[in-house]
Structure 1
């Protein structure tokens, strides 16, 4: 499978999150403790947002920038370009993903995160029996959106199905309908438990994260404790004095063993991190 992290909060250098923690995502690319595979060396990707545009006329909100995405097929632990970028890019919202292929080719277009307009998407898990149902799922993608698909993974297919089913208007409902469509299609081919997913998706302002599997035995997913609580627990950590109370990390596995820092996302749940605060809700597939 894969490992990923999503950060939202005070602008920080990517290096602060990707390399500096004791069990950073780069360390996990070689020494994952909770993944299906210990090594995740089949490519990597980072995606980040720059500052928003200037306010529009008549007080309208600024338009969100399109995220920058850098992906490569080699392992993250030895990539000099990733190291260089991480020490110079500062962002308030970014994704990072290290890949362990579940059968599709190791190529740039199959590396996460995936981007469409201002939206980014990344996934850990698999669609069981994907090779059998791939054609049926592809025919369900909006024909205009289908032209933008570049790779061959189940993850990218899930993204474009969610876009087709209304991701830009209502992300939780669109992901629920996408999941329902995949499960219905898989079971028509005799696949008992088609879906295994932890997914992160963002429009550059709000971040959604989902944990679900058809077998109710999902891959691991954690979120960071509130920063004000962490400050009280660990007043000696200078980093915590530099970030806002609204800063959050969502990760496939904890970046260290700091007591009280990490909380497991419950099974069949999605969370929302945004300007209005944090929320967590039950998640269930819906009919497409």
Structure 2
């Protein structure tokens, strides 16, 4: 975008960005479906039908599900000993449709607020901040360049969130319709903020609906002496679990067993929380946690 012709350049930029985001949303949706099918198979021994319409077989294998994941993520797959394990397909499942128009509106709102709107405000501030004799003054031009850089960074973060919106939505809505799902848990990327790390440390939020699967394939998470570990900290609210800030790459994943769900990552963050906040409560504990996480971020 050009700070000197925001209306024209902003409209052209928005059209290009929206087309790119639509393509990335489709890729995100394909990857989310492949992940969910493989993850569900590993956890329960059952999977969902393919996302694409067509005849549905009665069964597949772990190897075929891994091949599908490698294909949609452009990754190289290493053969696994259990690739030939048969996996039943629950055929009575319909994938939710993508709300394209709603997602387009959300993308436009995010892009405009973080891009052209921010740039317009910065340009107005630069132009009125002090009297200038010439519009090609070096200081003024530098302020315009800085304003464009700032708006570009914000717009990139907005585009990033909108590009993965469809995959996140598919996992949540598909798992809400899945009778084998009993809850959800937050999983972070490798460099989360303090809020996201706190959400991950809480483990699972369970629904009131009993599982139809009768438990997952995995062994229950437990303490070293074999007794089930209890997560005594209160769970986060459901609405917080699916909140994503700009630049966030966390994901909410379904839970298929009511055994205490603490991933290795969640256990690690839970132990850190207990250590960092020992003797503190409320705002003091949250502040100590924030300082701890921020000091370790790359």
Confirm or deny a common fold (TM above 0.5): no
What TM-score does the superposition give when structure 1 sets the normalisation length? 0.26
Larger Cα-atom Rg:
2
What TM-score does the superposition give when structure 2 sets the normalisation length? 0.26
The structure that is helix-richer by fraction is 2
